[in-house]
Amino acid sequence: MVRKVLLIFALVQVVFGSDMAPWNYDDTMKWGDDYPFCDGNEQSPIDIKDAMEKEFDNLLSFSTNYMTCITGTLFNNGHTVQFNVDESEPSRLIFQGPLGSQPYKLLQFHLHWGSDSTKGSEHTLDGQAFPAEIHLVHVNASLDGPLGKRGDLAVVGLFIEVGENAKMAFQPLVEKLPSLKNKDDSTSITINMADILGGVEDFSKWTTYLGSLTTPGCNEIVTWINMEDPIKMAEEELKELRTLINSDKKPMVDNFRPPLELKDRKLYKNMPKAT
Ligand SMILES: [Zn+2]
């Protein structure tokens, strides 16, 4: 099992690796020059609108240990602040909904945010941007080859709006930010996922579509699940994120890719089964 986990982390490095041409958010339309997948037809993010209602066989589900404290490494990767789940942690799984019976294991989460609170999210909701967005990245638990095909990753995206978070969900993370100013700064942290996700009022309200990583190499391997209910972060906490420094030694702000066309894809909205 340990070998399997190490293998998955090694394979994931191929896609999220650091041995890549430098890139930044100055002109995301040019990413395709170095990363051809970024010019593909199934790219993310998108504007979430006009979704077709669809009845899925089962509710999107989280393993019972999902909403508990998880230990990992929080670090500045030059583009965002990211939390990598420790390899020794028991698997936190999502399954059902658009994923069918295949479980996906939580690998990491990271954030995207704006230079001010009028922008920052990657997905937009009927044209509306949010101040930030969090991405919970999961890998197919039965992956046994290199990451690179449709269905290898499932990402749960949550919009973040400005407001008082009753659970103070982001406080432990925000408190660590002063020690994560520069690229490659890292620290150990324990995050309570129940607090992070506690603001979601209704877990049956989501849309889903087939898309890509929103950073180079833009691999089209992601089943996206975008929650409709935003979670909350205080303006002071967003300000704290904006003090981080990116790989160009500039303020780490506006680290979002603008929405791309849906093209021939379908965007589905979960329609809870009539009971
Ligand atoms: Zn992301």
Query: Under CATH, which architecture does the 2-17+34-270 domain have?
Result: Roll (3.10)
Amino acid 71: pLDDT? 98
The mean pLDDT value for 190-217 works out to 95
CA of 222 to the centre of ligand 1 (A): 11
pLDDT digits (tens, 9 = 90+) for 18-43: 568 999 999 999 999 999 999 999 99
- Expressed in angstroms and rounded, the spacing between residue 145 Cα and the centre of ligand 1 is 23
Contacts of 17 (CB under 8 A, 6+ apart): none
Q: What percent of the chain has pLDDT over 70?
A: 92
Q: How confident is the model at residue 13 (pLDDT cuts 50, 70, 90)?
A: low
Segment 213-219 shows an average pLDDT of 97
DSSP string, the chain: -HHHHHHHHHHHHHHH-SSS----SS-GGGHHHH-GGGGSSS-S-BEE-SPEEE--SS--EE-TTTTSEEEEEEEE-SSSEEEEEPTTSPPPEEESGGGTT--EEEEEEEEEE-SSTT---SSEETTB--SEEEEEEEEETT--S-S-STTSEEEEEEEEEES--TT-TTHHHHHHGGGG-STT-EEEEEEEHHHHGGG-S-TT-EEEEEE--SSTT--S-EEEEEESSPEEE-HHHHHHHTT-B-TTSSB-----PPPB--TT---EEE-PPP-
**What confidence tens digit (pLDDT) does each residue in 253-271 have?**
999 999 999 999 999 999 9
Centre of ligand 1 to C-alpha 112, Å, is 6
Tell me whether residue 79 is one of the annotated catalytic residues.
yes
Strands 47-48 and 206-211: what pairing?
Answer: unpaired
Q: Which residues surround ligand 1, an ion (CB under 5 A)?
A: 135
Q: Quote the mean pLDDT of the chain.
A: 93
